[in-house]
Chains A and B, each alone.
Chain A
Amino acid sequence: MKTLVLLIIIWPLIGFLINGLFGKWTKNYAGIIAASALGLSFLSAVYPIWQVILGNIYDYVYFTWMPLGKFSVPFGLRIDSLSAVMLFVVTFVSWMIHIYSNGYMKGDPGYARYFTYLNLFVFSMLLLILGDSYLLMFVGWEGVGLCSYLLIGFWYDKKTASDAGEKAFVVNRIGDAGFIIGVLFILFNFHSVTYADVFPFVHQVLTPETATIIGLALFLGAMGKSAQFPLYIWLTDAMEGPTPVSSLIHAATMVTAGVYMVARSNAIYDMSPIAMEVVASVGAFTAFYAATMALTHKDIKRILAYSTLSQLGYMFIGVGVGVYWAGIFHLMTHAFFKGLLFLGAGAVMHSMRGLLSTDLMGGLKKKMPQTAILMVIASLAIAGIPPFAGFFSKDAILAGALEMGHPIIWIVGEVTAFMTAFYMFRFVFTVFYGEEKVPNLYHELHVHEAPKVMTIPMWVLGVLSIIGGWVGLHVSGEIPIEAFIARTAPTLEVANEAHYSEAFLMGFSACVGLLGIFTAWVIYIKKWITAESIANTFKPIYTLLANTYYVDEFVYFFIVKPFWWVSEFFLWKIVDVKIIDGGVDLFGWISKRIGWLFRTLQTGFVSHYAYWISIGVMLLTGWYLVRII
């Protein structure tokens, strides 16, 4: 069993090494190798996950990674109910996307390189979720950050892509600094970073104040990685990478690492109401804010990117109000339907030769029937229509928020749910329904259905998008997924829990979703009200949204520009040139002076060296004489 658990993370590592070292020769088989590595990894994970469902917890230590005197960090892997859910999502969705990538990336010059990065990403991600200490999690955390950077800038000869990669890296670094600070605080307080040494002793060691500091520092890391306001700006630019990457890393797995980390640290967050309030509020704000921006965008990948931000906001609401299981549950269902949405967008891009604007599309249903059906399924799931997966998880989060006493967050969530349903169906209606907008464009581009190697993974995810939420149904008085996750991340205990009729809440959520779809249908199919007229009526708001609140411009003028200015006129011309270079020059000057003294002794005449030797002899004998006299 110990070996089996290790094998889960070893398979992607082997795939990475094969493709990384021998990419030149594996060229056409790189995809098959990578996908089989992931398949094996998933198969290795199935039995441990089943055992965990039956009630076991595995925590194996393989070796001591860092022996540092009194404190040492072991290299250990831990599978409990929380990491089991993540393990299933990561290995399975990654496997599907690896298979899909075989078709999508066909013919790309960086084929082997792509799969190398992808396998390295999965390895790091598995390390992140299976590692049994914060430090191991941090290794995975940085590893996925690196892979994200590499894959966003995968087409590095494109300026926008490499810029986007850098942006992602820099923004993530801000978050990572917070994460490190948090881990250092934990180390300082507990003298250990393994979960087993931290969580059981939280109440003895931490005061609410220190818990707040640690919680906020860790959440800063989560904000960077999971793209919460205001560190979300990298995620939309990350869409420069290949679409399967957007699907795997920037929708299904990596960006949810922050949610996982908060859920994992539930013992710390439970002690600090302030930190939880911050998490929930930031989540709610991001959910609403990102949804408004998704309303007006015309680039299909960016719409999905904003939608991802919004859904991540929901997950943070879930973990922030204390119903950790709902956050993780939504994470899982989101991985299925958002992965599918991106894969569908990828299929559209693939046949449209990289065109992304909704203005050029319309009526694609006739050309790509399978993709169209799948996209409708995924959109229904994200809009929260029963019995699709998203309904159960989103409803669990919003009901949880209400029960935990956060009615404002509930209202924000419902409004966001309406917007989500609207913009997703706006997307579906404008792309797949209606008439062809540009005559003969499809004929010229030979638009066709995606090959089987791409549609089959999409169907698998499509089925999961329908049935994936059914684990959230009531079965004999309890919700299976809740009971399962609550073993590791128990729901926060609140003194006076509010109770609402569950049927009413569910019905309300479903109605909100349907209303959103109906609005989209009215505007984009029936055209009773045209989108243009609405845009003209609310011109200022529309412009603001279309320009994504001018956040990039704001960042540019108020952060990047002053940063440059300070760098150039203060750090470079004063600190660097005057102080640092001057200081270095001073030392050079001093040693030159001292050197001058000794240099004059070096005449090069052999006899002069003999003089020095004889002086030395006289000094030694003189010292000896002084001793014996």
Chain B
Amino acid sequence: MSVEIVVFAILALMAVGGGFGIIVTKNPFRAAMWMVLSFIGSAGLFVMLDAVFIAMLQLIVYAGAITVMIVIAMYTMDRLTIASLKRFNNQAYFGALFGIGILLDFIVIAAKLKINTAQMGKNLSIAGSNVKAIGDVLFKSYLLPFEITAIVLLIALFGAVALTKKDL
């Protein structure tokens, strides 16, 4: 039991510390590295929560693809222009204040939640396979949202191409 708590503490620290790193570093490239750290921490937490497939997805999509995309976008820009920016807004303390406000709000709500934990840790896999369980639900109960998600991605693709086209 105590091992689990220690592992949880380390992973949670990675996730939160990485997140904190993103918002305080000046250099965006380093921020991207902090983000990778944060995502790896989250993936570890997902493994602890019996979401192995999602953890892999997290690593591939977030820590891999999205970070690479952002870093490549950064490479197309002048390093000095990006790095020499001032770090925070003029009224950054307002933002920090609101952030803390949201945090407190959500903590209170989360504390008020009443969850029935009788089924805790069950039903998350079919014959030991988490992927099978997700596929079963995804293609039976959530087929239409899945198709719509495909359309959303397609439109996002169009949008990205259209935005960066030269004469538009």
Is A–B contact present in the complex under a CB 8 A cutoff? yes
Which residues of chain A come closer than 8 Å to B91, judged between CB atoms? 607-608
Interface residue range, chain B: 10 to 19
B109 with A618: CB separation less than 8 A: no
Known A-B contacts: A608-B91, A611-B98, A615-B98. Give 12 more (CB < 8 A).
A605-B89, A607-B89, A607-B91, A611-B95, A614-B99, A617-B102, A618-B101, A621-B102, A621-B109, A622-B105, A625-B108, A625-B109
B112 with A618: CB separation less than 8 A: no
A615–B95 alpha-carbon span in the complex (Å): 10
Q: Is the interface of A mostly helix, strand, loop or mixed?
A: helix
B109 with A614: CB separation less than 8 A: no
| Given A607-B89, A607-B95, CB of A614 within 8 Å of CB of B102 | yes
B interface residues (Cβ-Cβ under 8 A, vs A)? 89, 91, 94-95, 98-99, 101-102, 105-106, 108-109, 112
A235–B130 alpha-carbon span in the complex (Å): 97
B105 with A625: CB separation less than 8 A: yes
Instruction: Report A600 CB to chain B, min CB distance, Å.
Output: 14
Interface residues of A in 607-629 (CB under 8 A from B): 607-608, 610-611, 614-615, 617-618, 621-622, 624-625, 628-629
Instruction: Report A118 CB to chain B, min CB distance, Å.
Output: 59
Instruction: Report B119 CB to chain A, min CB distance, Å.
Output: 23
B108 with A614: CB separation less than 8 A: no
A622–B94 alpha-carbon span in the complex (Å): 18
Instruction: Report A621 CB to chain B, min CB distance, Å.
Output: 4
Which residues of chain A come closer than 8 Å to B89, judged between CB atoms? 605, 607
A614 with B112: CB separation less than 8 A: no
Instruction: Report A323 CB to chain B, min CB distance, Å.
Output: 84
A614 with B106: CB separation less than 8 A: no
A625–B102 alpha-carbon span in the complex (Å): 12
B102 with A618: CB separation less than 8 A: yes
| Given A617-B102, A618-B101, A618-B102, CB of A611 within 8 Å of CB of B109 | no
| Given A607-B89, A628-B112, CB of A621 within 8 Å of CB of B98 | no
Name 8 A/B residue pairs within 8 A (Cβ), A-sorted. Answer: A614-B99, A615-B98, A618-B98, A618-B105, A621-B105, A622-B105, A624-B109, A625-B105
Instruction: Report A627 CB to chain B, min CB distance, Å.
Output: 11
Q: Which residue of B lies closest to A624 (CB)?
A: B109
| Given A607-B89, A628-B112, CB of A621 within 8 Å of CB of B95 | no
Set A610, A617, A624: member contacting B95, Cβ < 8 A: A610
B105 with A611: CB separation less than 8 A: no
A625–B105 alpha-carbon span in the complex (Å): 8
| Given A625-B108, A625-B109, A628-B112, CB of A611 within 8 Å of CB of B94 | yes
Which residues of chain B come closer than 8 Å to A605, judged between CB atoms? 89
Which residues of chain B come closer than 8 Å to A629, judged between CB atoms? 112
A109–B113 alpha-carbon span in the complex (Å): 88
Instruction: Report A524 CB to chain B, min CB distance, Å.
Output: 90
A624–B105 alpha-carbon span in the complex (Å): 10
Q: Which residue of B lies closest to A612 (CB)?
A: B98
Instruction: Report A271 CB to chain B, min CB distance, Å.
Output: 75
Q: Which residue of B lies closest to A605 (CB)?
A: B89
A520–B109 alpha-carbon span in the complex (Å): 111
Q: Which residue of B lies closest to A614 (CB)?
A: B98
Q: Which residue of B lies closest to A610 (CB)?
A: B95
A339–B125 alpha-carbon span in the complex (Å): 102
Which residues of chain A come closer than 8 Å to B112, judged between CB atoms? 625, 628-629
Which residues of chain B come closer than 8 Å to A607, judged between CB atoms? 89, 91, 95
A621 with B106: CB separation less than 8 A: yes
